[in-house]
Amino acid sequence: MNTEHLRHSAAHLLAAAVLELYPDVKLTLGPAIENGFYYDIDFGDVTLSVEDLPAIEKKMKDLVNDWKEFSHKEVSLEEAKEVYAGNEYKLEMIYDIAEKGETITLYTCGNFTDLCRGGHVDEPRKSLRAFKLMSVAGAYWRGDEKKPMLTRIYGTAFETKEELKAHLEMLEEAKKRDHRKIGKEQKLYFIDDMVGKGLVMWLPNGVTIRDEIEKLAREKEAAGGYVRVVTPHIAKQELFLTSGHLPYYEKDMYPKMEMDDGTYYMKAMNCPHHHRIYQYEPHSYRDLPLRLAEYGTVYRNELSGTLAGLLRVRGMAMNDAHMYCRKDQIKDEFKAVMKLTMEYFKIFGFEKYWFRLSKWSPDHTEKYINEPENWTYSQDVLREVLEEMNVEFVEVDDEAAFYGPKVDVQVRSVIGREETMSTIQLDFLAKSRFGLSYTDEEGSENNEVFVIHRAPLSVHERFLAFLIEHYAGVWPVWMSPVQVHIVPVSEKHVDGARAMVAEFIAAGIRVSIDEADETVGKKIRNATKQKHPYILVVGDKELSGEDLMIRVRGQEEQESMSKEAFIEKVKKEIAIRA
C-alpha cells in the first residue's frame, strides 16, 4: 500500500468528520506529510483544542464504515466556482489550477467531496483502520503571515494497528528526550522574551558542553591543517552584493542598518568575510589549499512562528570553515571533509547516516547562478567523490546552494526523525565574484580557485538539540557538565570533601559538591536526577584514605577503588572521549 495515499485519504476523512461536527467551517487543504497528515481549516469564531480531537476521531471511525471507494470527476472552472462559492480558500486554489492549465478534479468518498489532485487508497473502509489525531496548531494560509491564521489538525495513519502503536510509543520516547525539557532540567540554556525570540542564552552547564565540542573541533582542525580566523558580526551591503547573497538571500537576513558611512547587514554567513581574508595577500599555488576555520556567530531572520527551541533559532554559532583550492585539489579536499565528518560521527555514536547530493535545477534559474557548464562539472566531481568513497548516497534536484552543489549528511535520530546534520558545499561562484586567484607554476595568474564550504558539526544550537535527544541528557563523561559529584555524609565531612574537590579540579576533572543540610539519600536522589556520571558519598572512611565507593550512572552495583585509581580512570575516559 502506498503510505502517502493512505495518509492523504486519512486527511479527507478528517475533513469529512470536521464538516459533520462543524458545518460552518471552511476547508482549505490537507496533504500527507512525513509520519502523518494535516488539514488546515478556518473555524471562524470557534476555538478548537486538543480536547476536541477525540470526538472528531470518533466521527472519523463512524464515517469510514461507509467509505467504499474514491471516485473522481473532472469539472470546469465555472462548475468548481459554483461548488465552492463562499470558500475563498478553495476558490484561490481553483484559480491557480486553472491558470496553470491543469485539470480541476473533485474526489468523492461517502458523502464527502473535496477539491483534490488524487492519490488515495482503493478500499478506504478496510485501509483506514489505524489512525490517530495528534495535535492542533495555528498555521497561516499558505504559510504567509500576511494571510489569515487557520487551525491545523495533525494526525497520523499506518497500515496496521501494530505500526501505529509502535509509532505512538516512539513519540512518547521523543517527549522524554525533548531537548527543551532536558535543557531546562539540566540548566543548559534558556530563551528570554526580553532578549528576543530565537536568541539563546547559554547557561554554565550548556557552555561547558559547547566548549568541549569546540575543543574537539579545534584539535581535529589543527591536525587537518586548518588555520583559525575571527570576523565581525556585521558587514557593509557591498560585501553581500559582491558575494551574491543580496538579493538571493536577503529575505533570510536581518533588515539593513543605515549608518553614517553606508548600509550594513548582520551577517547570515561567514563565507564573504573569509573570501576577503583570502584576498588580503597574494597566494602561490604552493599556498593552496588554504583552510580557514571560524566558530563564527551568524544571524538569520526566521519568522517567529517557525522558531523551535534550539532546532531553529535566529542567532547561531557555526562550526564553519572554507577551503580555497586548485581545481586538481577539489576531490582530495572534499574527501578529507567527508572523512572528518565521519570521524566526528563515530565519536558521538551516530550510526544511521547517509549522504545526499543536492543539485541545481535548470528550470529555476531565479534561484541559482545560471552557469550550466559549471553546474555540470561540479556536480560530476561530487558524484565521483561519493562513488569513490563507496558511501550510501542519493541525488536530489533543486536543493543546491545558489552558488554550487552540496552534499548534505542526513542522520536518522534515535526517535526516527531525519535530520540534515552537516553540509559540504562546492562553490564555483566566489572566484569570479571576488576575483580569487593564485600564481601558478609558470608565474601566471590563475583564477580557478574553488571554495569548499563545510560545517561538519552544523551549528552549536542545532547540534546540541540533536545531542541532547540522542543521549537523552545522559552525557558521555568527557562532555558532561559535572563529571564527578561529591556528597558529604554530614556537616563534619564538608571540609574534607572540599579538599577532595580541589584534588579533582587540579586533575582536570569537573566536580560539584552538595553541601545542603539534607539526608544523604535525598542528596543521592537529586544527583541521580541530574544524571551525573559518578557520585561519591564521602564520610569518615573515605576521608581517612580507604577506597572510595563509587556510584556509577546506570549501574546498580557500586565500584570500589582508591582515590588515585579513580582519578586516573576518569582522566583516561576524558582523554579518549569514551
Percent residues over pLDDT 90 in the chain: 88
* Cell output for 292: 580557514
Nearest to 216 by CA among 469, 456, 461, 473: 456
Q: Which residues contact 357 (CB under 8 A, 6 or more apart)?
A: 379, 382, 383, 386, 393, 394, 395, 396, 405, 406, 407
pLDDT score for 437:
97
Cell 586548485 locates to 326
Residue 321 to residues 87, 92, 157, 218, 221, Cα–Cα distance (Å): 51, 45, 42, 11, 9
- In one letter, which amino acid is 389? M
Cell 572523512 locates to 339
Average pLDDT over residues 425-439: 94
Per the annotation, binding residues for Zn(2+) are 271, 322, 453
What is the DSSP code (8-state) at residue 281? S
pLDDT tens digits for 297-343?
A: 999 999 887 888 999 999 999 999 999 999 999 999 999 999 999 99
Residue 553 to residues 15, 503, 559, Cα–Cα distance (Å): 49, 22, 11
Cell 551525573 locates to 532
pLDDT higher than 90, residue 391: yes
Q: Which residues contact 264 (CB under 8 A, 6 or more apart)?
A: 234, 235, 236, 237, 256, 257
pLDDT tens digits for 41-79?
A: 999 999 999 999 999 999 999 999 999 999 999 999 999
If phi > 0 it is left, if psi is from -120 to 50 it is alpha, else beta; for residue 377 that is alpha
3-state secondary structure of 358: strand
pLDDT higher than 80, residue 4: yes
Spacing of C-alpha 317 from chain mean position: 14
Average pLDDT over residues 385-404: 92
Name the band, by pLDDT with cuts 50, 70 and 90, for residue 277: very high
pLDDT tens digits for 495-535?
A: 999 999 999 999 999 999 999 989 999 999 999 999 999 99
pLDDT score for 363:
83
Beta strands 484-488 and 534-538 are parallel
Count Cβ atoms below 10 Å from residue 350 Cβ, excluding itself: 21
Average pLDDT over residues 348-355: 93
What is the DSSP code (8-state) at residue 419? E
pLDDT tens digits for 226-247?
A: 999 999 999 999 999 999 889 8
Nearest to 431 by CA among 376, 372, 384, 374: 374
Least confident of 34-48, 268-282, 353-367: 353-367
Average pLDDT over residues 155-171: 94
Nearest to 330 by CA among 244, 399, 427, 395: 427
Per the annotation, binding residues are 271, 322, 453
Average pLDDT over residues 378-394: 95
pLDDT tens digits for 186-196?
A: 999 999 999 99
pLDDT score for 244:
86
DSSP letters of 201-242?
EE-HHHHHHHHHHHHHHHHHHHHTT-EE----SEEEHHHHHH
Beta strands, E only, 226-301:
227-228, 234-236, 257-259, 262-266, 290-299
Element (H, E) at 237: helix 237-243
Cell 581545481 locates to 327
pLDDT higher than 90, residue 439: yes
Which domains are delineated in the chain? 3-168 (3.30.980.10), 185-471 (3.30.930.10), 484-575 (3.40.50.800)
For the chain, the residue count is 578
